Structure 1
């Protein structure tokens, strides 16, 4: 209401009227309430999403540990030191590491066995070829074997093979210490006692003696 005597055109009256209770927007209070409710709802959604993501992560980790206990045999064996208690995550991880190291050692051992078997197969193949050549030579010349050689010739064959091996042995072996000697011997065997190498030595000795005899 305007004061008596005040003109409606008075600017002070307009200002007072503008700030009177009748001029407030009735929707301002509701707008603030809805905005605050929206903020609270957004925070709740963020919190709920974070909680769900964290729960999924924990469930995935738990499933991983459960799978390890199922796969790793040592995790299934009863540990009397902890009784009937459930294995802790640290124990599960340690048993898993130990089992992986065990598998690596077994794999290396099997690879070495396979390598040895392959060498044996190679040696057997060489022997097979040699025997086939002997049989074929005998079939082509059935009377060639009638001329027996003396024990001296047999000894000369052995001596020729040993002389050839000793030359490589003497050139490869170091006697600075017993440990170095042992290492050199094994290295020499691997290098100079291969089936193919021995075959070449024997063939060379036989050719040499054959030229001397005939």
Structure 2
């Protein structure tokens, strides 16, 4: 019998896994590191974390109906054999396998599966790594924040490896869209710094009109590319 090549086996296995996930209602996310350095992406709820060297991909299956999910990249990390350690940006309680959200600043890829897939790139928690969200359904928008926001970061927002948002720094109702600003929260000079660099991304919590995207439920898988 002729031997099937390993690449062919991998392709068949990948297609079978993708088909099985769709049959189970799961959505496949490929997290790809195109940065010139290692990142440690993480995902919630219940997806843990992973080290990704340059040009590596981490594939995860998100269960059907997942609400308020997010992925982000951590940078400048060091972990021991038990998975404990620290990261300069996006740290989640000092663990490789995240069970809590990452510390600011961190660029977020957010999603919710409901009557449609809702997804966005968010700078509400600041910025650390450029990223894009790419649906496999070509009819759906692929939002991105490709700019080096750190290069334009105001001095009072700068941290090692990232840029905090005005809400992170000042913790006021005006910048966090809370209290008296919960229902009427316009953009500010600070949020516009982020918006001008990344027009498709959330620049502050009420930046919905230009920053939330949808795709028909069950019609697409997604890739999240760090440093697209």
TM-score range, shorter chain: under 0.3
TM-score between both structures, scaled by the size of structure 1: 0.17
Which structure's residues are more often helix, by fraction?
A: 1
Question: Which has the higher relative contact order, 1 or 2, with Cα contacts under 8 A spaced 6 or more apart?
Answer: 2
- Structure (1 or 2) with the larger CA radius of gyration: 1
Which structure's residues are more often strand, by fraction?
A: 2
